[in-house]
Amino acid sequence: MNLLIRSFIRLYVFCFLPVLLPGQQRFRAGVILGVTASQIDGDRSAGYNKLGLQTGLRAVARLKGRSEASLEFLFSQRGSQSELIKDEFSNFFSLTTNYLEVPVQWHYKDWLVEGDGDDPDYYRVSFNGGFSYARLMGAKVDDDLSAIRVIAPDYLKKNDFSFLLGANFFATRHLCFTFRYVRSIGYMYDPRDWDPAPAQSAWNSHSLYFQSAWMF
């Protein structure tokens, strides 16, 4: 936990110090607020029924041409749920997993908007891809299926590595809306790691991120 706090402080300084220093136009930083919609393959559910909160920071560095690189530090809620709205007549379950997440991405920009007066030019859209590391901070289970409760949280892996693809739309130079698909490269629960294993089906997580960001 101390290492994560120190990493957060370093990222905060990395994000906002270049914005405060004169002449540093290559860097931008912003704050993120959004929602996630998630599911887990292997847990008897289907559909992105689990909604969660996401918030954090984003730092962007301009590269050559239309490309950029970004680094984020996020609190992300993922998990799975049997249905979007609980039905008292069905076997309902919900798993909420809380992660601290650090995505690293490459962006390609298009649709140039020319600045007016003192406002610089900016690009309206961008497409991005990259990888993410996430650390599981906790999990909560609400279910009528004992297998889910047996696995979570004690058998879930603490570390998660994912790939991601997304797109961004800038309504203004400062206000950005992001859609992102995120899928774990490995399993969040793997029965081969345990003897005996509480369940035989491996779990693989994937999520949709809907973000709004204010870029300074």
**Assigned token pair, 144:** 């009528």
Summarize pLDDT for 64-121 with one digit per residue, the tens: 989 999 999 999 999 999 888 877 777 788 999 999 999 999 999 999 999 887 778 8
In this structure, how many other beta carbons lie within 10 angstroms of the beta carbon of residue 60?
Answer: 22
Query: Which residue is listed with tokens 């706090």?
Result: 5
Domain that holds residue 114: 2-215
3-class secondary structure, 115: coil
* Distance separating alpha carbons of residues 57 and 98, to the nearest angstrom: 17
**Total count of domains within the chain:** 1
pLDDT value at position 19? 44
User: Could you tell me the pTM of the whole model?
Assistant: 0.88
pLDDT value at position 7? 55
Summarize pLDDT for 17-46 with one digit per residue, the tens: 554 444 446 899 999 999 999 999 998 788
* Distance separating alpha carbons of residues 152 and 138, to the nearest angstrom: 10
pLDDT value at position 74? 98
Q: What is the CATH number of the domain that holds 183?
A: 2.40.160.20
